[in-house]
Amino acid sequence: MKLTGIKIGFCVTGSFCTLHKVLPQIEEMVNEGAQLYPIFSYSVANTDTRFTTATEFRKTVERLTHNTVIDTIVDAEPIGPQHLLDVIVVAPCTGNTLAKLANGITDTPVLMAVKAHLRNQKPVVIAISTNDGLGNNGKNLAMLLNMKNIYIVPYYQDGPHIKSNSLMADMNKIIDTVILALDKKQIQPVLLNIP
């Protein structure tokens, strides 16, 4: 198994239309031997949408990971000082979270988990899902691409003819990105053609 014994913080932020794409990745990581610790942004923890309810999504993730969701800043803070994780994955990573991460803002459980983890010089894997990745958030993505210990899941324009600034990570490449990130390597290529 590719991830036996690896402790992964799996952070989920509010790209609600993408949540269904990360569930198979969570299940596969567990099947590959990883210990997954789910971490939710406030919006994922508390918002019901047309895609799922907060309660339903939480129950599904907790069932798949066999762990309780971390959903407060207080509960996320010990990740750093206690060296609880080997790697953190943020999938999907919204433009809001992307921007805050690039600019050092820590106001959600996900951002606290990432900040706490980065203090230990350990890898963080970002799987973007944002409608403004080639717009206002382009500069933030560029900053993260150049930041130490940040690794990007390969991404593509997910609707260039109808939403030209939108970017989406290929969620099927999360595990491969994690494996390389644990070895301090960025998976290539980062930019993909439309799948």
pLDDT at position 127: 98
Lookup: tokens for 17: 């239309």
pLDDT at position 195: 56
DSSP 52: -
Dihedral through CA 137, CA 188, CA 87, CA 115, nearest 10? Answer: -30
Ramachandran sector of residue 114 (left: φ over 0; alpha: ψ -120 to 50; beta: rest) = alpha
pLDDT at position 145: 95
CA–CA gap between residue 99 and residue 140 (Å, rounded): 5
- CATH of region 7-182: 3.40.50.1950
What's the whole-model pTM score? Answer: 0.96
Lookup: tokens for 39: 């971490």
CA–CA gap between residue 72 and residue 53 (Å, rounded): 19
pLDDT one digit per residue (tens) for the chain, 195 residues: 899 999 999 999 999 989 999 999 999 999 999 999 999 999 999 999 999 999 999 999 999 999 999 999 999 999 999 999 999 999 999 999 999 999 999 999 999 999 999 999 999 999 999 999 999 999 999 999 999 999 999 999 998 889 999 999 999 999 999 999 999 999 999 999 875
3-state class of 3 per DSSP?
coil
pLDDT at position 132: 92
Domain ranges of the chain: 7-182
pLDDT at position 160: 87
